[in-house]
């Protein structure tokens, strides 16, 4: 039984590994976005995972040349830890769990709806009435220009749930950006300054503050996308271990995270 590993570089993104059981044709691939996620919380652990998979490939290829099929898989299973794949997997997993928790809390904070007070209750009610009176096809345009408290009212009554997901998400993101400007006080950092054509120009630069809030929100969205990239890579690494060690998926995951293939029900 022979195993083969191939490694290819995807420019500006990362590396792709394919592990193949030549005898059976079974194979598994994983893409490690090591270049794409440089400078993120995954930087060190993904580099470690890249090196570990390179080590694993060399070991399983060597094992397949030295051991008979009856003992090959036990040696390959030992290689998962010896090659540091298990350590790199757990390190990347920890980083992903921390980021997932952080982005979830950040998103919840940005989209939180405070209880209405005397001043905001009327604005929210008017927003809901305006939304209800608008034809379905015009609602996306309406939502794109609504104020924070109008959007809060619509979200509060669950009206976004009946809209197409992309429209509802855009409305939530607009609300989060507007709320972020108010809560963070970012507007104070963005004021208009006199110019050669408006020497007395002053006051808040709303457009600049909105751009800054959008940039902050775009960073949060990128963090969420990165979580998806990393989770996909980890899922693929589990598949690689399945293939190299002839295991069922729950066993492969247990081997990576505990060093044992015994699955606890």
pTM of this structure: 0.82
What's the mean per-residue pLDDT of the chain? 90
What is the DSSP code string of the chain?
--EEEEEEEETTTEEEEEEEETTT--EEEEEE-TTTTTTSTTHHHHHHHHHHHHHHHHHHHHHHHHS-HHHHHHHHHHHHHHTTHHHHHHHHHHHHHHHHHHHHHHHHHHT--PPP-HHHHHHHHHHHHHHHHS-GGGHHHHHTT--HHHHHHHHHTTGGGGS-HHHHHHHHHHHHHHHHHHHHTGGGG-B----SS-TT--SB-HHHHHHHHHHHHHHHHHHHHHHHHHHHHHHHHHHHHHHHHT--HHHHHHHHHHS--PPP-
**pLDDT tens across 124-173, in order?**
999 999 999 999 999 999 999 999 999 999 999 999 998 999 999 999 98
pLDDT class for 181, splitting at 50, 70, 90? confident
- In this prediction, residues 95-121 reach a mean pLDDT of 93
């Amino acid at each position: 039984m022979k195993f083969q590993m191939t490694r290819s570089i995807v420019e500006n993104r990362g590396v792709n590994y394919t592990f193949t059981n030549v005898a059976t044709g079974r194979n598994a691939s994983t893409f490690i976005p090591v270049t794409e996620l440089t400078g993120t919380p995954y930087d060190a652990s993904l580099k470690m995972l890249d090196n570990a998979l390179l080590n694993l490939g060399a070991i399983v290829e060597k094992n397949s040349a030295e051991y008979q099929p009856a003992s090959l898989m036990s040696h390959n299973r030992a290689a998962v830890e010896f090659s540091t794949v298990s350590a790199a997997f757990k390190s990347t997993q920890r980083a992903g769990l921390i980021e997932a928790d952080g982005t979830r809390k950040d998103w919840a904070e940005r989209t939180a709806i405070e209880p209405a007070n005397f001043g905001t209750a009327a604005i929210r009610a008017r927003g809901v009435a305006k939304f209800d009176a608008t034809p379905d096809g015009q609602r996306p345009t309406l939502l794109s220009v609504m104020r924070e408290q109008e959007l809060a009212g619509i979200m509060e009554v669950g009206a976004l749930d009946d809209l197409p997901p992309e429209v509802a998400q855009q409305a939530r993101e607009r609300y989060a950006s507007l709320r972020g400007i108010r809560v963070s006080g970012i507007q104070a950092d963005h004021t208009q300054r006199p110019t050669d054509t408006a020497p007395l120009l002053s006051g808040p630069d709303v457009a600049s503050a909105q751009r800054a809030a959008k940039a902050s929100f775009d960073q949060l969205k990128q963090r969420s996308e990165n979580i998806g990239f990393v989770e996909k890579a980890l899922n693929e690494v589990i598949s690689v271990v399945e293939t190299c060690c002839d295991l069922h998926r729950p066993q492969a995951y247990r081997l990576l995270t505990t060093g044992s293939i015994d699955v606890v029900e």
